[in-house]
């Protein structure tokens, strides 16, 4: 699991309305789905986002790192 937090540039209240927060949630879910990432928890707050994600280990990551190490 990974807990990611990021703020909007200069921290303006970009997600001040429910409509804007919901739009960002939809975008984050879409990107996660496209990349085989499971969104465990997602919170969009006035000027920042919290996301708890998980994803399966990648054969490419394990295999490629072993190849490079040798």
What's the pLDDT at 36? 87
At 13-65, the pLDDT tens digits run 999 999 999 999 999 999 999 888 999 999 999 999 999 999 887 756 667 77
HSE, CB side, 13 Å, CA atoms: give it for residue 69: 6
Considering the segment(s) 2-69 as one domain, its CATH architecture is 2-Layer Sandwich (3.30)
DSSP secondary structure letters along 26-55: HHHHHHHHHTT-EEEEEEEETTEEEEEEE-
pTM of the entire predicted model: 0.79
- Grouping H, G, I as helix, E, B as strand and the rest as coil, residue 3 is strand
Instruction: Name residues whose C-beta falls within 8 Å of residue 56's C-beta, 6 or more positions apart in sequence.
Output: 36
């Amino acid at each position: 699991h990974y807990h990611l937090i990021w703020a909007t540039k200069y921290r303006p209240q970009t997600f001040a309305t429910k409509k804007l927060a919901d739009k960002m949630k939809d975008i984050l879910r879409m990107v996660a789905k496209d990349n085989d990432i499971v969104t465990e928890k997602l919170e969009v707050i006035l000027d920042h986002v919290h996301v708890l994600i998980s994803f399966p280990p990648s054969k490419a990551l394990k295999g490629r790192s072993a190849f490079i190490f040798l």
